[in-house]
Amino acid sequence: MSGLEGRDPWGSVLQVEGKWYRYFTPEGERFYRESLPLQTRLAEQGLWLWAGEPAGGRVELPPLACLTYPWEWDWLGWQEAALSTLRIQKEALKAGWILRDATSLNLTRHEGHMVWFDQLSLAPYQAGEPWKAYPEFVATFLAPLLLMAWRDRRLGKELLLYPQGLPLDLVYTLLPSLRKWHPTALIHLRLTRQAPSTGARPNKKESSHPTLSPQRLFALIESLEVDIQGLSPQYARSPWEGYQDVACPYSERARAYKQQTVATWLERLAPRRGMDLGAHVGTYTQLLLRVAKEKVLALEQDAQAIDQLASSLADARLYPIWADIAHPSPPVQIGGRTLPGLLERLESSVEVVLALALVHHLRLRSFLSFSVQAHRFAHFLEPGGYLLVEYVPPTDPMVRQLHSSPESFPDYSEEGFLAAMGTYFSLEAVEHLPESERSLYLFRKQ
């Protein structure tokens, strides 16, 4: 038995014999049962992960196809998660409930939607009660969104350093000068930061129980919706912009042959679950989506590329993940529990891995030896799974763009590559690209 113990006095999540359960305290179970009609409506709208009726003080949680955290989300995922949280809050208020927490860690992508999966987040609403989770929403949703929209999209990774919420004084300092006077920044960042903490002594002239009418609370939520809907990401110039078009290193013949070979191999393998490493804008992710019946994971470290992929390939089976395979998201400590790192969450998760035009980046830029790369590819695959990998020789023009002295890597050779892969895989097929020195290899995990 393993568990995720946290700050919640109403219950905990435990894993028993490979299944996840939410355990309730008597008070937690009472509120859970009373909120079931609301949970049902939210689930019907694609906002809530439905778990059902509890039995014996617990409820079995439905499996998630791919758990991701905010620092791994594409831009549309960020926006949808924030707006979904506000929609849940509005629906809850109409039914006499309120979200007692509003952290971005309570959502993940599931079957094409960002869904809320903490079923104990609802509490009865008392008229006039302020939204106590509002500062948490600002620190874990609005603040990261403003940084990504007004400064740099890559700052979405900052929440990895501050998983309980970004320091609002730091966020305000990082905003461009003119944006600091924007009403959204002034109202939600500065005023929230200046609000007294819950442990502060109230002024004698002020009420110790601040109130907020339901009308004003609805107005607050709707203003946040408008603010978030109007944001768009600010990108730094990417070295891989246009890589799939004018900057493509392949001739037309080589590119067509590569796509046809990959498509043929995938159709023959017919995987249910696949992964595209270094997916860029999804050229080969599309080929996986044609054959994979359950899910396709697309990992890409370039923020602009993963955002383009997510917006252009709308599919309930697709799970875009903003991540660098050489430096994946580590485990994170929060609230007395450990959020698992990306490698742990993706272990043995797919039947096919694509690693196309990737190994030279991992070797020359990230300094991952071919042995380490082979181990990582095998880590993602189920026993008997397949790896489609492209070998890029040191004589390739793109290699010189990555490193001025590829000859300083003595293991960088086709012999070294094949020897490293042979530790974990058996060779099934190889195709050499025309008008190119690159080769496609099909391996099977031993």
Reading the block at residue 32, the tokens are 């859970």
279 & 420 share domain:
yes
Which tokens is 6 given?
């946290």
pTM attached to this predicted model: 0.91
Question: Is residue 188 in some structural domain?
Answer: yes
pLDDT category of residue 335 using cuts at 50, 70 and 90: confident
Residues 304 and 358 in one domain: yes
Report which DSSP code applies to 231. -
CATH number at residue 440: 3.40.50.150
pLDDT band at 327 (very low <50, low <70, confident <90, very high): very high
Share of the chain above pLDDT 70, in %: 92
Q: Which residues contact 260 (CB under 8 A, 6 or more apart)?
A: none
Distance in angstroms (rounded) separating the CA atoms of residues 7 and 11? 9
Once rounded to an integer, what is the mean pLDDT over residues 303-317?
Answer: 96
Question: Is residue 238 situated within a structural domain?
Answer: no
Asked if the model's pLDDT at residue 438 lies above 60, the reply is yes
Asked if residue 372 and residue 323 are part of one domain, the reply reads yes
pLDDT at 79 over 80: yes
Whether the CB-CB separation of 307 and 75 falls below 8 Å is answered with yes
Same domain? For 293 and 350 the reply is yes
Of 66, 70, 75, the residue nearest 136 (C-alpha) = 70
Do 278 and 424 fall within a single domain? yes
Mean pLDDT, all residues of the chain: 91
Return the amino acid letter for 424.
Answer: Y
pLDDT digits (tens, 9 = 90+) for 193-250: 654 443 333 444 444 566 889 999 999 999 999 999 999 999 998 766 665 555 567 8
Same domain, 257 and 400: yes
pLDDT tens-digit readout, 5-63 = 456 788 888 888 888 999 999 999 999 999 999 999 999 999 999 999 999 999 999 99
Same domain, 34 and 108: no
* 295-300 and 318-322 strand pairing: parallel
Which of 35, 60, 85 lies at the terminal end of a domain, its last residue? 60
Residue 262 lies in a domain: yes
Instruction: Write down which residue in 21, 40, 60 finishes a domain.
Output: 60
What tokens were used for 233? Answer: 């990401």
Two tokens at 201?
């002594």
What CA–CA distance (Å, rounded) separates 104 from 70?
7
Inside any domain, residue 295? yes
Domain presence at residue 200: no
Domain total in the chain: 3
Task: Looking at the structure, tell me whether residues 310 and 172 fall in a common domain.
Answer: no
Residue 237 in domain: no
Parent domain of 410: 252-445
pLDDT of residue 205: 47
Cβ atoms of 425 and 443 within 8 Å: the answer is yes
Identify whether 356 is part of a domain. yes
pLDDT digits (tens, 9 = 90+) for 336-346: 789 999 999 99
> Angle formed by the axes of helices 214-229 and 75-94, to 10°?
160
pLDDT score, position 242 = 60
**Which amino acid would we find at residue 430?**
V
In this structure, of 170-179, 206-215, 325-334, the range with the lowest mean pLDDT score is 206-215
Give yes or no for residue 90 having a pLDDT over 90: yes
177 and 291: one domain?
no
Range of weakest confidence among 105-109, 318-322, 335-339, 378-382: 335-339
Say if residue 405's pLDDT is above 90: no
Q: Give the per-residue pLDDT at 409.
A: 87
Q: Are residues 161 and 109 in the same domain?
A: yes
Domain assignment present for residue 239? The answer is: no
- Comparing C-alpha atoms, which of 136, 110, 127, 140 is closest to residue 49? 110
Q: Is the pLDDT of residue 99 over 60?
A: yes
- Whether 436 and 394 share a structural domain: yes
Query: Do 429 and 322 sit in the same domain of this protein?
Result: yes
Q: Is the pLDDT of residue 400 over 90?
A: no
- In angstroms, the CA 224 to CA 187 distance is 11
Structure confidence at residue 432 (pLDDT): 97
